[in-house]
Each structure stands twice: as C-alpha cells, then as structure tokens.
Amino acid sequence: MRAMVVRRYGPPEVFECREMPDPEPAPGQALLRVRAVGINFADLLQRMGLYPGTPRPPFVPGLEVAGVFESVFGDAAREASAVGSAPPSEEVLRPGDRVVALATFSAYAERVAVPVHLAFRLPEPISFEDAAAIPVNYLTAYHSMFQMGNLQPGDRILIHGAAGGVGIAAVQLARARKLVIFGTAGPSKQEFLRQIGVDYPIDYTREDFRTVVRRVAPDGIEMVMDPIGGKSFARSCDCLGATGRLVVYGFSAAAGPGGRRSLWRSLKALAQTPWFHPLRLMRRNISVIGVNLGRMKGREGLLRRQLEEIFRLYAAGQIKPVISKVFPLEQAAEAHRYIHARQNIGKVVLTVE
C-alpha cells in the first residue's frame, strides 16, 4: 500500500510517499480501506514532533479516516462480527460496510488498522469526504460544549479559530442549540463568520476579544473554546463570568511559522501559560476543561452516542462540514503548507484513489 511517511520531525518537506506492507490488525483492531482522511492541526504538530505521544520517525501521521470495512483481527472476531455478537460498546460491521473511524496515528495511507470500537457505520447520505471531516472536529466540539460544558439555550460562547475545522463545527452546533456566538478569525474571514451565523465576529488582528466580549456581556460569558494556548488561555479566562468554562483542546501557539519546529516558540508559549490554582478557580467560580479524544478509553459508548446525535443533526440539515480544499494523498505536504499559511476556511481533506 502507499503511505505518506514523516521521515524526520520538521516542515512539510519531510513527507515521503512510500510503498509499505498492508497493516495486520492486532487483537481488538479492524482493517479499513481508506477513501478519505481528515487533516487536523494535531497532524501538523505530529509532523513537527510537538504532539504528545507522537512516535519517533519514520511514522505515518493522521487521526481520522472514512472508508470501507474489510476485516477484524482473528477468526473468532470475524465470526462474532458476522453473527452480530459484538460487545454493546462496538458496532456490528461486515466487510464492505462504509465506516468512519478514529485512528491512533497511521491514517495517511491506503489501509489502516483502527480500534474496532472506534469504527462507526457511516449513514448512506454522507460522502466519504464529509465523513472524514466529522469525527475529530464535531466530536471535540460536541463533547466540549454539551457533555463537559453542559451549555443551555441562550448561553454565550467565544470560539477561537471560528473559521477552522473545530471552530466551524462549534459554530454550527451552537446555532443548533440556540447559543449566542462570539468568534475570532483573521480579517479575510470576517464575512464568512457572519455568513455561518456568528453573532459577534472578532478580527483578532485589530480588536482585543476581551473588550468585545465584555462590552456585550459585562458580567462575562459561559464558555470559551481555546486551542491556542500560551497567553491566550489567560485572556480567555478574563472573558468568563461566574460558572464560566474554559475549554482547552490544543496548543497551536507552540507551532512555528511555515511548519518548522521551534523550541524557543514552544518554551515561550509554555512560559506564558497561566497556572490554574484550585483556590483561584473556586474564588472565581469557573472551571478549566481539557479535551483530548485520544484519551477516551472506556468511554467509547459515549462517543458513539454523541456521533449518532451528530449524524442526526447532519440528516436534519443543521450541520455540514465546510471543506476548504481536497488534496490527493500524495500531496500531503502541499495540504500541510496550505494550512500553515492559514489559507483554509474549514477542513482540509486527503483522498485516496
């Protein structure tokens, strides 16, 4: 099979297209033929060696795929799948079923082995490209906002990077639940924010988002979703009122321009990150929520229920991924450069022919 391999940590040029043996599913794994791969900022951090748990090079990056189910490990597992005796937390899948899955790295390839409980049957109306843009973005947003954050209609939310993958997912889900939405993005994306329903678009290059939020909501808001890190975490906390929640799900401040690894930039971002002392959180009556879909072992049934609700909202026309650009698998380096240059509005997807 073809796979895009990171030869060493570094800029997009470290990618190399290689012929590799098809993966052999281990116990508890399913083998998928990949049709589309969703690119996340975490993939860029993996390539730079900045993402927690990233293997040593050479390795194949990527965390989400859509494709076709081929098999599961071992004859016993295959028989269980065929007769429908899979555990309740798993879905009964048969060869040829269309699926979407969360991977543990290794997604930039023609085939991938994934945990069987993280492979979900794909409803027929959803294309492979749309499907590859759903799991990480929409589950991150849904889990943050409604499982951990318990947001209710009328609550106010600030979404950083509102024109990105998770940002757009969060905006669409917020509109479906009738939340008041603040969103940050660069100057070229302000009109897009208005089009997708952001009530208060904020150009972070010209305005201090804290000033905008406090002007509209002097007592503070209920949630901020912040994937930036560093000093942004402290500024986001300034927007919160009593019972406010800061959701932390990324650390893009550590990534250098052009996709190059920068130890100085990483250390600076870490030094600017505030310490959230429990007593200070108690005094302010706020909470800090960390979200990492890769650390949901034992909660796969919860993810399945959330994904089913996301599929329901898709079928109802209330959400739909915005795909900025599609690249063939072998152009993974160009796709990463496109994201580093902040050219994308929405998701970037790789397709596998």
Domain with 168 in it: what CATH number?
3.40.50.720
Question: Which amino acid belongs to residue 274?
Answer: P
pLDDT above 50 for 36: yes
Please check whether residues 164 and 289 belong to one and the same domain.
yes
In 3D space, the residue among 155, 223, 186, 216 whose CA is nearest the CA of residue 341 turns out to be: 186
> What average pLDDT does this structure show over 218-224?
98
More confident position, 253 or 141? 141
Q: Which of the residue ranges 50-59, 101-110, 217-226, 294-303 would you say has the lowest mean pLDDT? A: 294-303
Predicted confidence (pLDDT) at residue 115 exceeds the cutoff of 60:
yes
pLDDT, tens only, 324-344 = 999 999 999 999 999 998 888
**Cα–Cα distance for residue pair 118/137, rounded to 1 Å:** 15
Indicate left, alpha or beta for 60 from its phi (over 0: left) and psi (-120 to 50: alpha): beta
Beta strands, E only, the chain: 2-6, 15-19, 29-39, 64-72, 98-102, 111-115, 119-121, 156-159, 180-185, 200-203, 221-226, 240-248, 287-290, 323-328, 347-351
Residues 63 and 96 in one domain: yes
Compute the distance between CA of residue 239 and CA of residue 244 in angstroms, rounded to an integer.
Answer: 9
What's the pLDDT at 75?
45
Given this model, what pLDDT does residue 353 score? 87
Please give the residue range of the domain that contains residue 151: 136-294
Residue 310 lies in a domain: no
pLDDT of residue 211: 98
Mark whether 265 and 337 lie in a shared domain. no
Mean pLDDT of the chain, nearest integer: 92
pLDDT, tens digit, for every residue of 238-253?
A: 999 999 999 999 888 8
Per-residue burial over 87-112, b if 16 or more Cβ lie within 10 Å, else e, is eeebbebeeebbbbbbbbbbbbbbbb
Q: Is the overall model pTM greater than 0.75, yes or no?
A: yes
Average pLDDT, stretch 94-115? 95
In a domain, 29, yes or no: yes
Is the predicted pLDDT of residue 261 greater than 90, yes or no?
Answer: no
Largest CA distance in the chain: 63
Give the CATH number of the domain where residue 7 resides.
3.90.180.10
For residue 42, is it within any domain? Answer: yes
Tell me the two tokens of residue 214.
Answer: 């406090």
Q: Specify whether 141 is located in the same domain as 91.
A: no
Check whether residue 102 and residue 215 sit in a common domain: no
pLDDT of res. 149:
97
268 and 228 housed in the same domain? yes
Say if residue 171's pLDDT is above 60. yes
Q: 103: helix, coil or strand?
A: coil
pLDDT, tens digit (0-9, with 9 covering 90-100), for 177-199: 999 999 999 999 999 999 999 99
Q: Average of pLDDT values for 130-138?
A: 97
Q: Residue 282: which pLDDT band, with cuts at 50, 70 and 90? A: very high
**Are 28 and 88 members of one domain?**
yes
Q: Give the pLDDT of residue 342.
A: 84
User: Is residue 299 assigned to a domain?
Assistant: no
Cα 200 to Cα 11, 46, 110, 209, 274: the distances in Å are 35, 33, 42, 10, 26
In a domain, 303, yes or no: no
In angstroms, the CA 74 to CA 100 distance is 21
Average pLDDT over residues 119-147: 96
Q: Which tokens is 255 given?
A: 């990534």
Residue 178 belongs to some domain of the structure: yes
Shared domain for 117 and 141, answered yes or no, is no
Residue 77: what pLDDT? 46
Q: For a pLDDT cut of 90, what percent of the chain falls above it? A: 80
* 9: number of Cβ within 10 Å: 17
- Which residue in 328, 250, 312 sits closest to 43, CA to CA? 250
Tally the domains of the chain: 2
Mean pLDDT of 302-307: 95
pLDDT at 213: 98
Question: pLDDT value at position 256?
Answer: 65
* Residues 170 and 75 both lie in one domain: no
122 and 148 share one domain: no
Using the predicted structure, report yes or no on whether residue 258 has a pLDDT greater than 70: no
